[in-house]
Amino acid sequence: MLISEGSKPAIMIHVNEKFGGENILDQICHGIEEEGIPYEVKVVNGRDHIAMAYEACQTSRLGVGIGITEGYIALHYEKLEAESPLFCISTHEDMEKIRSMGTNGARLVKRMPFKNLRE
């Protein structure tokens, strides 16, 4: 387990260092905030959104991680297989759907029904 003793309970968000979509990151963070769950953003050197999300959930004391690259966003949970994230969407989706990725990460922590990402 990669969790350090000093880490606070929070959803971990790993963002590719070359990712330039701050409004996308803002929407995800707002979705988490609306559900009242803390989060932490870390800039990493990664290209695979799923691997980044898996690593993020492994370092989260809440067991939930989000990985963001220039093309995709993945939401992962510590109890899932590394190659099987809970949700994946394109960064080109509408902002409401992108915000729902953050909301669903928080709802995973709260054990509440997810927002629909298919429409």
| Nearest Cα to Cα of residue 52 among 62, 64, 65, 67 | 67
Question: Which of the four pLDDT bands, split at 50, 70 and 90, describes residue 4?
Answer: low
The better pLDDT of the pair 114, 119 is held by 114
Chain center to CA of 45: 16
Note the pLDDT of residue 5. Answer: 59
Note the pLDDT of residue 60. Answer: 97
Q: For 58, list phi and psi in degrees, rounded to 5.
A: -70, -25
Note the pLDDT of residue 75. Answer: 98
Give me the chain's average pLDDT, please: 93
Has domain 9-49+90-110 been given CATH number 3.40.50.10150?
yes
Average pLDDT over every residue of 72-89: 97
